Amino acid sequence: MIALATKDEDRDEMRATLDAALELSFLSSGPHGVYIPNGQAKHEEAANWLRENTELREYKIKATLSRLPSEWPDS
C-alpha cells in the first residue's frame, strides 16, 4: 500500500511513520488499513493522546471520535 501512495524517495519515511503509529496502543491494523477499534476505551485513549500530543481542540476531538463518553474529557 505504501508503494502505491508514495514516491520512491518518500517510502522509507512513510514506512517509519506507519511503524511508529502502529506502536500506539489504541491503533489496530487490518486488511483495509489502520483504524481505531470501535470500543469506547480505545476512543478515549486516542482522544487523550490527541489532546496531549497535538494542537487539536477538545471539541474537534470529541466531534471526530464517535465512541467517546459524553463526560469526556472530564472522565
Q: Which element (helix H / strand E) includes 30?
A: strand 28-30
Q: What are phi and psi of 9, to 5 degrees?
A: -70, -15
The mean per-residue pLDDT over the stretch 50-65 comes to 95
**How big is the CA angle at 10 (ends 8 and 15), to the nearest 5 degrees?**
110
Which pLDDT belongs to residue 6? 55
Flag whether pLDDT at 1 surpasses 80.
no
For residue 9 the three cell numbers come to 524517495
Question: Tell me: the pLDDT tens digits for 4-56?
Answer: 455 666 777 878 888 888 899 999 998 888 899 999 999 999 999 999 999 99
Put simply, whether the predicted model's pTM sits higher than 0.75 gets the answer yes
* C-alpha to C-alpha distance for 11 and 4, rounded to whole angstroms: 10
